[in-house]
Chain A
Amino acid sequence: MNQRIENLRTQSFEAKPSISIERALLETQFYKENYGKYSLPVLRAMNFRHLCRHKTIYIGKEELIVGERGPEPKAVPTFPELTCHSADDLRILNSRAMTNYTIDEKDINTYEEEVVPYWHGRSMRDRIFSTVPAEWKAAYQAGLFTEFMEQRAPGHTALDGTIYTMGMLDFKAKIAGAIAELDYANDPLAADKHEELTAMDIACDAAIIFAERHAALAAQMAEGETDAVRKKELQTIAEVCRRIPANRPETFHEAIQMYWFVHLGTITELNGWDAMTPGHFDQHLYPFYEKELSAGTLTREAAKELISCLWIKVNNHTAPPKVGVTAKESGTYNDFTQINLGGVKANGTDATNEVSYICLEVSDELHLLQPQPSIHVSSKTPNRFLKAAAGVVRKGYGYPSLFNSDMVVTEQIRVGKSVEDAREGGTSGCIETGSFGKEAYILTGYLNIPKVLEVTLNNGIDPLSGNVVGIATGEAKNFTSFEQLYGAFKKQLEYIVDLKIRVNNYIERMYARYSPAPFLSVVIHDCIEKGRDYYNGGPRYNTNYIQCCGIGTVTDCLSALKTHVFEGDVPMTRLLDALASNFVNDEALRLKLINRTPFFGNDDDRADTIMQQVYNDLYATIDGKPNTKGTVYHLNMLSTTCHVYFGKMLGATPNGRFAHLPQSDGTSPSQGADMKGPTAVIKSLSKMDQAKSGGTLLNQRFLPSVLKTDQDLDKLCALIRTYFTLGGHHIQFNVVDTKTLKQAQSHPDEYKNLLVRVAGYSDYFVDLDKEHQEEIISRTEQELG
């Protein structure tokens, strides 16, 4: 890394996340003056244009790629139209020890006076909570599920290559064409489409205005600049920002700046979950790289520097702070920009190119929190690339994560996408599969499967609160067979899923109505063609996901019930008493459950067939349920950090787990349940028909000593390839020893740089709360050799 990159990296690393109230003030002022005068799509687009016109513009020292969402790096705006933080929320954010956001008292007071009163009762969160039914609230408060859309907009969006072939002026022409073709005589929705398309047109203008302001600032700075080299750089920035994003990019530099303006536009307009990602960035940049390299206008080093600049820009953008349950389920600064490297092209051939290697090198050298690269391995991916990735895995940053391209394509073809669209798709957020640039794949919330079993064992009651949160499915002590218990569990599951979907569908309409995203809609196919918003079925594909958590824990619990209660000598009443008392008087039973139950993750069919049964029933319950866009729900299998929150909301469980401890993460086995090493874990996971999901997540922790030599890396590559041959979707590794983690716990200041894999992403270990830290330490260490 050169001096410029080192300086920018240090600045980004050391900047403390803060809250900027600028966006909230501008927006509140705009809404006060304009709400009711325009249709909502047009209002939202004008609000976006207002922000682009008036927000503070920042061009940092030495920067080549420019633009910040806030007034400076790591200054995070709020989105009161979705969730309006109270003054108390802001004070907590300012003072809490973990994932803290600074804000001064003066700003808090201004916020309290100017922003809070207007949005009270008008924010999406207020609208949602004022209408949800009582039974939903009961289940939600018991921790049976979470709701993603109560404070951030639906997101996880990734782009395809369109923005590298079309500028905003091209999009405007396309929009004008769509408006001209509206058929008011025969299309009852023509007027609605007109409003949406007009909004998209305004959003294109907004992005151009935003760039022009950067051009003007850069030109002005260039004039005052005495250093000739920097002067030239600023002039180039001005030129680029005058052309981009109005026109399609011509150079490598312009291509990167193009992406960055689009990225900033989408995260300024709304705060969709997981920010935004360029998707297959290596594939998108390669034509520019190749062209300029052969023309002699770009070197590999210069390309690497520009990519590094973008990486630092992404890292500057801390996630907007959450509140309430959502803060617990995902306590992190991360806004997940997962950049896909490798994989396949739309025509099915291997997509790995030189830019893939450069991006990997940049991630290795910068090892920042964001963006987080993922390596997409198809049967055609060269071993050299996989091994280069394994070399970075060994460093222990927790990334890159590894995905099976062939499976990601299969998952999408299963749900009816064209094979080309599927290949242009990939994964975003943690592990979520989608067709990049053509799909709204909305994550609706996590589902606590072990909690469903707990409620079943208590005949519909949450034993922690005593409240009725499910339906009556019979007293557990009266069940005479495992099948009877399982049948009750299935009924309970169906009830909870239905409850969640009912509310989700309602919320979905609220987003379509109150929070359209015209700028995002411009860059996603086929919103313009359909004249419909991203949140209203505009994209070519529309999917809702429910993220199922705790398959490892629930499998082990059911296996324990089957083995010891229905086929063994433990009376159900003894087990229920032990669970109710958190095993205080029955440690012998707890140990028996832990030591003498076939657990998931050991390539043991006695447990793995139960996993299959649960998985198939989750699939049967969720997959194909209608959403409000004429399409359907699918399941995916990830927990992010929600397994810690869900564990907290769960009493002692039949697998011998004490109350409130984390449950299993993603599709990984329960902490400590896998005893036979990584090959057995992989074999167990391969029994899950992952093609029916929208992604699974497997965490493995390796000691550094297992990855010492070159041969060790070859073995790791073979392990990854085997998992993918067997139908695995994703695997990721934490390579760090327990000793280091414990030292980091006691001396956080010395380990500020220690990145660890948390869920589908890496985070700074010292930024995690105690529970997450302990959970990472307890995750099975594959102690080998």
Chain B
Amino acid sequence: MNEELVTIFSIKHYAIHDGPDIRTTVFLKGCPLSCWWCHNPEGLNHRIELIRNLEKCIGCRECVSGCEPAALSFVERKLVKDETLCTLCYSCLEICPAMVFEPTGWKTTVAEIIQEIEKDIPFFDQSGGGVTFSGGEPLMQAPQLVRLLKECGRLSIHRAVDTTLFADSKTVMEVARHAELFLVDLKLMDEDKHRLYTGVSNRMILANLAELSNSGTEIIIRIPQIPGINDDEENIKASAEFLKKLNGRISIELLPYHSSATAKYKKLNMTYPGRDIPSSSPETIKRNRSILESYGLTVLP
């Protein structure tokens, strides 16, 4: 892996749901988990793909004449691509006026990302906000992440990392040295269920969380409320039992679920395992909030 470059899939300004105050969120591409309900499927794969939004195509054929390996052609007035000929030169991306071709992410440098974050410093200064590195799973590009965090630290920007903690503990602790806030996804306490719905075991995650909480880093635990999967009393109580034992500055946020990513999956030509999951019910979230509070835990509004 080239440590100079970072693979990201979005930078969002005035991100108001990724930590306190006005934030800028950088989404690093690639994730070791594959949660059924993932709403950023473009962040799952570390590799950049080129998707085609054929509904935008106006048939001008400028891409065909500009494609050196002749991978693109029109068959019955419809754009087709011979994947075997494509050299991923991206000239079609540059040429197409209608933005039919869309990469699922891009490689960039630490300096370029910092330049983009820096633009929002006046808003951080006013609100107390800062940057959040999210994903995907940002720990998958830990060396780059550490360099980004160090640079932001140098600029006195408040730093948060939004992570599943699915990484070796050395990596987690190295990142923790350079971040002021961790937003940690806690999905399921039952290991088998965790394996079923996310593709991986939760052991390493829970161990990392315990270790992280001892380090004094501020942590916001985020529990997505996925109806029928993890919003039952049993899971909430098990989560509460676990969280109660942790040290340090910990608060909890319950995130309501909406199956809003259908279009994204379709565009990416991926199956959406969570497409039939209904939206969270406010009553359940309210109940779960009181359960957590009954354990003496702080739940954010």
Which residues of A approach B to under 8 Å, CB–CB?
A: 587-592, 595-596, 603, 676-680, 683, 706, 709-712, 714-715, 718-719, 721-722, 725-726, 782, 784-785
Looking at the complex, which of B15-23, B74-82, B148-156, B287-295 is the stretch in contact with chain A?
Answer: B15-23
> Is B296 an interface residue, CB under 8 A from the partner?
no
Pick the contact of B12 from A677, A706, A711 — CB < 8 Å? A677
Chain B residues with CB under 8 A of A587: 58, 60
Residue of A nearest to B128 (CB): A718
Q: Mark B66-79, 1 if CB is under 8 A from A, else 0.
A: 00000000000000
A710 CA / B127 CA spacing, docked (Å): 14
Is there an interface contact between A722 and B127, defined as CB atoms closer than 8 Å?
yes
Whether the Cβ atoms of B126 and A709 lie closer than 8 Å is no
Which B residues, 263 to 301, have Cβ-Cβ distances below 8 Å to chain A? 301
Residue with the highest number of chain B CB atoms closer than 10 Å, among A710, A722, A726: A722
Asked if B97 and A718 make an inter-chain contact with CB atoms under 8 angstroms apart, the answer reads: no
Q: Which residues of B89-124 have CB atoms within 8 Å of chain A's CB atoms?
A: 97-99, 119-120, 122-123
In addition to A680-B119, A718-B123, A719-B22, 8 A-B residue pairs with Cβ atoms within 8 Å of each other are A587-B58, A588-B60, A679-B22, A711-B20, A714-B21, A722-B127, A725-B126, A785-B17
B301 contact set on A, CB distance < 8 A: 709-711
C-alpha spacing A650/B111, complex, angstroms = 43
- Tell which of B20, B62, B119 touches A683, judged by Cβ atoms closer than 8 Å: B119
Task: Return chain A residues, CB-CB under 8 Å to B122.
Answer: 683, 722, 725-726
CA gap between A590 and B20 in the complex, in Å: 41
Q: Is the CB of A715 within 8 A of B127?
A: yes
Q: Are A591 and B14 in contact (CB under 8 A)?
A: no
A677–B129 CA distance with the chains assembled, in angstroms? 16
Return the chain A residue nearest B122 by Cβ.
A722
Query: How far, in whole Å, are A603 and B15 apart by their CA atoms in the complex?
Result: 16
Does A677 contact B13, Cβ atoms closer than 8 Å?
A: yes
Classify chain B's interface size: 20 to 34
Shortest CB distance B136–A (Å): 18
Given contacts A603-B119, A718-B127, A722-B122, contact A677 B97 (CB under 8 A): no
User: How far, in whole Å, are A714 and B122 apart by their CA atoms in the complex?
Assistant: 15
Instruction: Report the bound CA distance from A680 to B116 in whole Å.
Output: 10
Residues of B within 8 A of A706 (CB): 16
Task: Give chain A nearest CB distance to B99 CB in angstroms.
Answer: 5
Q: A715-B21, A718-B21 are in contact. Are A595 and B14 (CB under 8 A)?
A: no
Chain B interface, >50% SS class: loop
Q: How far is the CA of A588 from the CA of B15 in the complex (A)?
A: 34
Closest to A676 in B: B13
- Please, which residues of chain A bring their CB within 8 A of the CB of B16? 706, 711-712, 715, 784-785
CB pair A722–B99 under 8 Å, yes or no, is no
Within the complex, which residue of A710, A726, A782 is in contact with B14, where a contact is CB–CB below 8 Å? A782
In the complex the two chains form, is A679's CB within 8 Å of B120's CB? yes
Give the contacting residue for B123; candidates A588, A591, A722; CB below 8 A.
Answer: A722
Q: In the assembly, what is the distance between CA of A715 and CA of B23, in Å?
A: 10
Identify B97's interface contact among A589, A680, A714, CB under 8 A.
A589
Q: How far is the CA of A722 from the CA of B24 in the complex (A)?
A: 15
Alpha-carbon distance between A592 and B22 when the two chains are bound, in angstroms: 33
Interchain CB contact under 8 A, A784 and B22: no
Known: A679-B13, A679-B22. A595 touches B127 (CB 8 A): no
Residue of B with least CB distance to A726: B122
- Chain B residues at the A interface, C-beta cutoff of 8 Å: 12-17, 20-22, 24, 58, 60, 62, 97-99, 119-120, 122-123, 125-129, 301
B97 touches A784 (CB 8 A): no
Report the separation of the CA atoms of residues A533 and B97 in the bound assembly, to the nearest whole angstrom.
60
CA of A722 to CA of B119, assembled, Å: 12
By a CB distance below 8 angstroms, the chain B residues around A782 are 14
Q: In the complex, A719→B98 CA distance in Å?
A: 33
B-side contacts of A677, CB under 8 Å: 12-14
- Cα-based distance from A250 to B140 in the complex (angstroms): 73
Complex Cα–Cα for A725 and B58 (A): 45
**In the complex, what's the smallest C-beta–C-beta distance from A620 to chain B, in angstroms?**
28
Docked pose: A678 CA to B120 CA in angstroms: 11
Interchain nearest-CB distance for B65 vs A (Å): 12
Contact A784 B126 (CB under 8 A): no
User: How far is A680 from B123 in the complex, measured between Cα atoms in Å?
Assistant: 10
Chain B residue with the shortest CB-CB distance to A656 = B97
| Chain A, residue nearest B301 (CB) | A709
- The distance in angstroms between the C-alpha atoms of A595 and B56, with both chains bound, is 12
Which residues of chain A are near B15, meaning CB under 8 Å? Answer: 784-785
A710: nearest chain-B partner, CB-CB: B301
Q: A715-B21, A722-B123 are in contact. Are A596 and B14 (CB under 8 A)?
A: no
Residue pairs across A and B with Cβ atoms less than 8 A apart, 6 shown, are: A595-B98, A676-B13, A683-B119, A706-B16, A718-B21, A718-B128
The residue in A678, A683, A715 that gathers the most chain B C-beta atoms within 10 A of its C-beta is: A715
- A250–B301 alpha-carbon span in the complex (Å): 49
Tell me the nearest residue of chain B to A724, going by C-beta.
B126
Residues in A neighbouring B21, C-beta threshold 8 A: 714-715, 718
A592 cross-chain contacts in B, Cβ below 8 A:
97
Closest B residue by C-beta to A706: B16
Cβ contact within 8 Å between A721 and B13 = no
**Given known contacts A714-B127, A715-B22, A726-B122, A680 and B13 CB-to-CB distance under 8 angstroms:** yes
CA distance A710 to B12 in the complex (A): 22
> With a CB–CB cut-off of 8 A, which chain A residues contact B12?
677
Q: How far is the CA of A706 from the CA of B22 in the complex (A)?
A: 12
B292 CB to nearest A CB, Å: 18
Inter-chain contacts of B129 with A (CB < 8 A): 715, 718
- Nearest CB of B to A775, in Å: 24
Do A678 and B126 have beta carbons less than 8 Å apart? no
Nearest B-chain residue to A709, judged by Cβ: B301
Could you tell me the distance in whole angstroms from the C-beta of A406 to the nearest C-beta in chain B? 14
Chain B residues, Cβ within 8 Å of A719: 14, 22, 123, 127
| A721 touching B126, Cβ below 8 Å | yes
Closest to A586 in B: B60
Residue in B closest to A721 when the chains form the complex, CB atoms: B126
| Cβ-defined contact, B123 with A679, below 8 A | yes
Contact A678 B97 (CB under 8 A): no
Provide the residues of chain B in CB contact with A711, threshold 8 Å.
Answer: 16, 20, 301
How many angstroms between the C-alpha atoms of A680 and B126 in the bound complex? 15
Instruction: Please give, as numbers and ranges, the residues of chain A lying within 8 Å of B24 by CB-CB distance.
Output: 679
